[in-house]
Amino acid sequence: MKRHSVEGRLLFGTGINGIGGGLWFTIWALYLTRVIGLPAGRLGLSLAVAGVVGIALSLPGGAIADRFGARRVALTINLVRAVACLAFLAVDGLVALTLVAAVFNGAQVVGSGVGNALITGLFDDERRMRMLARSRAAVHAGNTVGAGIGAAVLAVDQRWAYAAAIVFNAVTFVVNAGLLAGVPETPTRRRLSRWAGLRGPAIRDRRYLLAMAPITALTACWAVQSTGIPLWVVSSTSAPPVVAAGTVIVSSVLIAGLQSAVSARVLTIRQGAVAATLAGVVLAVSCLVFLPAAGKGAGWAAVIVLGGGLLHVVGELLFVSGQWAVSVGLMREEFRGEYLGVSAAMTGVVQEFAPGVVVGLVGGLGGVGWVAMAGFFVACAVPILPLAARAASGVGDAAGVAGAGGAGAGDGGGVGAGAVS
């Protein structure tokens, strides 16, 4: 199959899933509370269980992708998520929600690592970076469209409208599965590694784990975007709440338009480490920029928040590019599913706990909380370069072209999580 045909299938499927993800992310909370009638205060435990399931399955999922092929596993994950998505129509209590969300969100986290393995198996060198950057851009573009559809569903606010939206999201997974069926399979191994990856080379690669830990911790920036900024705007500034939504829209548009350009300049392990280090510094500065908004009038507060939001986008663009370059550059090709499964699991851990930490800091401590977040991002940035250099020396190629991984399995959003990473 021609390369442009493969790229077209992957990008179209990712974009379609992005629309479904943006739609679901917009409506899920009101659907579960207003339509199903579940108590909002008790949703947290169900969603936490779902997140833990995904984290636990990421490494075995990657090992299975190495053994049977990432395309085959990614296709299966899309079909599983389609069924789980439809199952939300039958949820009638917290137990049912926990089970359905565990499958739906769990498959999302596993699919992130498997999607990385799919792309890195089909493309090599700088083509990985170009393809995965374009994939992320497609997801964000789709999210923006899906959020607009979700807004219309919320305006109607009827059970049938929510049900139609859920069916539409399920269809996006089926469409993506159909597109993946026409994509070549990735190279496979003759057998699973020890304990389906739980005792495989990736989880025992200490240099890889140490190098990725501070970079992955920067994933907390997504919680700042989805939780910290809206909370700060509403609770501590005189800016209108719509400003928080504006930062999300601006972020999606800029990521869709700029991720490819930024990633094209971050191809080696060292370049990735430098980009991630700069990301930590820029994210720290963005946190401090939000502080003066608390003492200004509505107009200036809005300008300050939007300015901080723009800096945050710059940090996120650098962080994602750096994470891709380092994680894929350090992995062993024959175990790419396991290595990228480890990366997905580490990212899942941060996504699981970061929102609560951000709420506690920004909501509980106000300005002091923003200073603490800035300190956290700087602390993440400091060890990245030496740890990445040490890990690169272990694979004998600190300057080799790394490429990147991405969400090739598609993303239709997770319950209680951002629709895209």
pLDDT of residue 403: 37
pLDDT digits (tens, 9 = 90+) for 373-398: 999 999 999 999 999 999 988 664 43
Domains observed in the chain: 3-197 (1.20.1250.20), 206-395 (1.20.1250)
Confidence of residue 415 (pLDDT cuts 50, 70, 90): low
Distances (CA, A) of 260 to 115, 216, 265, 379, 399: 18, 20, 9, 27, 21
pLDDT of residue 405: 35
Of residues 229 and 366, more confidence is placed in: 229
Per-chain mean pLDDT for the chain:
84
Based on the number of CB atoms within 10 Å of its own CB, is 403 exposed (0-12), middle (13-18) or buried (19 or more)? buried
Confidence of residue 126 (pLDDT cuts 50, 70, 90): confident
3-state secondary structure 84-150: HHHHHHHCCCHHHHHHHHHHHHHHHHHHHHHHHHHHHHHCCCHHHHHHHHHHHHHHHHHHHHHHHHH
What is the rounded average pLDDT of the residues 339-354?
A: 85
Across 134-191, the runs of DSSP E, i.e. the strands, are none
Of 38-47, 99-108, 324-333, the range with the lowest mean pLDDT is 38-47
**What is the per-residue DSSP string for 28-44?**
HHHIIIIIS---GGGHH
pLDDT digits (tens, 9 = 90+) for 164-210: 999 999 999 999 999 999 888 887 776 655 545 466 678 888 899 99
pLDDT digits (tens, 9 = 90+) for 39-91: 766 777 777 787 788 778 777 887 888 888 889 999 999 999 999 999 999 98
How far is it, in rounded angstroms, from Cα 72 to Cα 65?
8
pLDDT of residue 39: 79
Task: Yes or no: say if 36 and 371 are a contact pair by the CB < 8 Å rule.
Answer: no
Task: Yes or no: say if 228 and 373 are a contact pair by the CB < 8 Å rule.
Answer: yes
Whether 419 has a pLDDT exceeding 70, the answer reads: no
Helix (H, G, I), strand (E, B) or coil at 239: coil
Angle at 381 between CA 379 and CA 385, to 5 degrees: 130
What is the rounded average pLDDT of the residues 359-379?
A: 90
